[in-house]
Amino acid sequence: MIGFVIKRILGAIPTVLLVSITVFLLIRSIPGDPAEIMLGEAADPASIAAFRAELGLDKPLPVQFVLWAKHVLHGDLGQSIFLNQPVASLVWQRLLLSASIILIAVGIATVIAVAAGLFAAWQQDKLGDIAVVTVATFGLSLPSFWIGLLLLLVFGIKFGWLPVVGYVSFSDDPSRAWQYLVLPVATLVIVEVGVLTRMARASAVEVLRLEYITHARAKGLSEFAVLFRHALPNAFAPTLTMVGLVIGTLLGGIAVVETVFTLPGLGRLIVEAIYARDYPVVQGCLLVIAIAYVLVNLVVDLLYPIFDPRIALE
Amino acid sequence: MTARLDSRSRLRLLAGGLLGAIVLALSIVAIFWTPLDPNRLDVLHRLNAPDIRNLFGTDEFGRDVLSRAMTGGTTSLTVAILTVAAAIAVGSTIGFLTGFFRGWTDRLVMILNDTLLAFPGILLALGLSAVMGPRKYGTVLALSVAYTPKVMRVVRGTVMSLREREYIEASRALGNGPVYTLVRHIVPNAVAPIAVLATAMFGWAILMESALSFLGLGVPPPAATWGNMLATARPYLTSAPWLSVIPGMLIAATLLSVNLLGDSLRDWLDPRM
């Protein structure tokens, strides 16, 4: 088990390195001279040259990468051009908001999906199953930004229960902060619960066919015990992998939801930085999100043997 | 390996086909004709509620929402079709070759592929569109680069399991060359998983294109797409809610159709799933 954990953790290191190189090259492949873009067209050649030297742009590409990586390892992601702040602290503040929305939403969606999936598998091909699958397929087809707008329309404008624009952070006013998070979290739950439910149902259907379930029933266990004590742990493992994928999709796609609800999260930051051509910020966001995704997958891999111990033995 | 569909599958196929046909028909008709000029400004009829002249109302510039939704469909479907075609063409070519011939090129390509797969797809598309700037074909390129690694992995996996089958060995034993074996025996057997993947990818491409356009990083205005129509609808949520409802409904209808058709396709090709 410990060998498995160490192997997985070491295995993530090359991925992180390759991901960093990709992010670095992606930003470098933007047409035009970064120094010129940052200083504007009106800048004189001397100050452009000085700025190029400051950024290390006069050195060969591999050297530039090593310099950049060294800074990153020291927690220095560079300086934002327009916001005049270190990228690292900027990204960190925004990441906290985005990550809490995503994790709360995925947590709620997983609980609903596992319950609904288990129920549907138990009722396989009966009315309850058909209803769950139909609702899940509808959910799968809803774009988050549209659901967000509709929720705003109904709960923000029609009923006036929740605020429509703006954001108050938890450190400023905890009693009001949650009101700004209800709709974004609800949006993500609605959008992601479908895919998770379908996955949970599919793996529960597989598990319920197995002989040990028949055996558990033959022992006279209640259906509740059969489903939750015996079927759930085995059926949950594939769903967990899907949870990792969903978190990844949301890490990348959170920008649209934050745009709908005017939330100052990481997604908004990257989009605004792209508009403003604030490339150090774009680079920092891409790197942090990509590494976060690698880590999420690592955590999923490490949790997997808890639900399916066969994996660690291989 | 195909099977007759049961009644539920047939219902899904019918519903998905019908929805898809409506969206497709609107988008194709829009190439030749729309009720009104989708880009004509009409300040006297700004933010008009749906009526007989403008069935879906008008937007903040007095443009006809139905006409814009129709041409938006043309754009979105074109982008999605091109994206899927490019990703399937490039991804499966590389997947067939590396999966069949293996060797160090395969290992090298796999490292590159796994690196790209380590990014959430939309993030990669976001980064690439930052590099290229908002352009219609830039969006196609960004999305196809984001999806090619997925295709490659599926195709390579399929090829690797197929090449161990006995009929491939038989083809070799008959003295057929590797290229003949690949094209004659492996490619046809890999069509089914590629078709299932292509259907799913078409849905993702529609969604991603809408998301990028919604963020202002996809197809640029004044061209209408469902995504950028929703983006401009946000400030008029109170005064003109139809602006937020209609484009989203079309995206959802398209995705629902793709999901239903995809499920039917999978049932038909592989009844065990």
Cα-Cα end-to-end distance for chain A: 10
- Range with top average pLDDT, B136-140, B199-203, B240-244: B199-203
| Contact present, A273 and A282 (Cβ < 8 Å) | yes
Domain range annotation of chain A? 19-60, 87-307
Judged against a pLDDT cut of 70, whether residue B212 lies above it is answered with: yes
Instruction: Encode burial over A224-238: b for 16+ CB neighbours within 10 A, e otherwise.
Output: eebbeebbbebbbbb
Judged against a pLDDT cut of 70, whether residue B171 lies above it is answered with: yes
B 109-148 residues with CB < 8 A to A? 111, 114-116, 118-124, 126-131
Residue B166 CA: distances (Å) to CA of A217, B179, B270: 42, 17, 21
**CATH second-level architecture of B7-269?**
Orthogonal Bundle (1.10)
Query: Measured between CB atoms, does A289 come within 8 Å of chain B?
Result: yes
Select the residue of A29, A140, A153 nearest B237 (Cβ to Cβ). A153
**Mean pLDDT of the region B136-163:** 88
B128/A26 touch (CB, cutoff 8 Å), yes or no: yes
Query: Which of B11, B116, B117, B119 is best to mutate for the A interface (most A CBs within 10 A)?
Result: B119
Measured over all CA atoms, what is the biggest interatomic distance in chain A, rounded to whole angstroms?
85
Query: Measured between CB atoms, does B250 come within 8 Å of chain A?
Result: no
| Contact present, B155 and B96 (Cβ < 8 Å) | yes
The dihedrals phi and psi of A86, each to the nearest 5 degrees, come to: -65, 135
Q: What pLDDT does residue B36 have?
A: 75
Any bridge partners for residue B58, and if so which? B64
| Contact present, A239 and A113 (Cβ < 8 Å) | yes
Query: Measured between CB atoms, does A124 come within 8 Å of chain B?
Result: no
A274/B241 touch (CB, cutoff 8 Å), yes or no: no
B214/A259 touch (CB, cutoff 8 Å), yes or no: yes
Judged against a pLDDT cut of 70, whether residue A113 lies above it is answered with: yes
CA-nearest of A260, A312, A267 to A292 is A267
Q: What pLDDT does residue B94 have?
A: 92
Q: What pLDDT does residue B4 have?
A: 61
CA-nearest of B21, B67, B75, B34 to B206 is B75
**Mean pLDDT of the region A160-170:** 76
pLDDT per residue over A273-303, tens digit each?
A: 888 888 888 889 999 998 998 898 888 888 8
The dihedrals phi and psi of A193, each to the nearest 5 degrees, come to: -65, -30
Q: What pLDDT does residue B93 have?
A: 93
Residues 6 or more apart whose CB falls under 8 angstroms from that of A6 comprise: none
Q: How far apart are CA B152 and CA B87, in angstroms?
A: 9
| Contact present, B196 and B202 (Cβ < 8 Å) | no
Q: What pLDDT does residue A312 have?
A: 66
Tell me the shortest Cα–Cα distance from A309 to chain B, in angstroms. Answer: 25
Q: What pLDDT does residue A26 have?
A: 85
pTM for the model stands at 0.88
A chain contacts of residue B258, beta-carbon cutoff 8 Å = 141
Q: What is the CB-side half-sphere exposure of residue B108 using CA atoms within 13 A?
A: 6
Q: What pLDDT does residue B264 have?
A: 87
CATH fold for the domain made of A87-307:
MetI-like fold (1.10.3720)
**Mean pLDDT of the region B157-186:** 86
Percent share of chain B, pLDDT over 70: 96
B chain contacts of residue A253, beta-carbon cutoff 8 Å = 120, 122, 211
Q: What pLDDT does residue A169 have?
A: 75
pLDDT per residue over A22-66, tens digit each?
A: 888 888 877 777 677 667 767 777 877 887 777 777 778 888 888
pLDDT per residue over A117-150, tens digit each?
A: 999 988 888 888 889 988 998 888 999 999 999 9
- Helix orientation angle between A232-260 and B187-214, rounded to the nearest 10 degrees: 40
A 26-45 residues with CB < 8 A to B? 26-27, 29-31
Q: How far apart are CA B260 and CA A145, in angstroms?
A: 22
Judged against a pLDDT cut of 60, whether residue B164 lies above it is answered with: yes
Q: What pLDDT does residue A188 have?
A: 94
| DSSP assignments along B26-43, one per residue | HHHHHHH--SS-TT---G
pLDDT per residue over B1-56, tens digit each?
A: 455 667 778 888 898 999 999 999 888 888 888 777 777 777 777 777 777 777 77
Judged against a pLDDT cut of 60, whether residue A183 lies above it is answered with: yes
Q: What pLDDT does residue B273 have?
A: 44
Tell me the shortest Cα–Cα distance from A182 to chain B, in angstroms. Answer: 18
Query: Measured between CB atoms, does B235 come within 8 Å of chain A?
Result: no
Q: How far apart are CA A239 and CA A199, in angstroms?
A: 6
A290/B123 touch (CB, cutoff 8 Å), yes or no: yes
Band (pLDDT 50/70/90 cuts) for residue A114 is: very high
Judged against a pLDDT cut of 70, whether residue A244 lies above it is answered with: yes
Q: How far apart are CA B131 and CA A277, in angstroms?
A: 10
CA-nearest of B56, B80, B88, B69 to B25 is B69
Write A216-225 long-range contacts (CB < 8 A, 24+): A223/A122
Judged against a pLDDT cut of 90, whether residue A216 lies above it is answered with: no
Residue A290 CA: distances (Å) to CA of A20, A61, A217, A269, B249: 8, 21, 45, 15, 32
Give the number of residues written for chain A.
Answer: 314
Note the ipTM here: 0.86
The separation between CA B65 and the C-alpha centre of its own chain, rounded to angstroms, equals 23
Q: What pLDDT does residue B254 have?
A: 94
Write A295-302 long-range contacts (CB < 8 A, 24+): A295/A12, A296/A244, A296/A247, A296/A248, A296/A251, A297/A244, A297/A248, A297/B118, A298/A8, A298/A9, A298/A12, A299/A244, A300/A240, A300/A241, A300/A243, A300/A244, A301/A8, A302/A5, A302/A8
B252/A282 touch (CB, cutoff 8 Å), yes or no: no
**Mean pLDDT of the region A88-97:** 89
Residues 6 or more apart whose CB falls under 8 angstroms from that of A45 comprise: none
**Mean pLDDT of the region B236-259:** 88
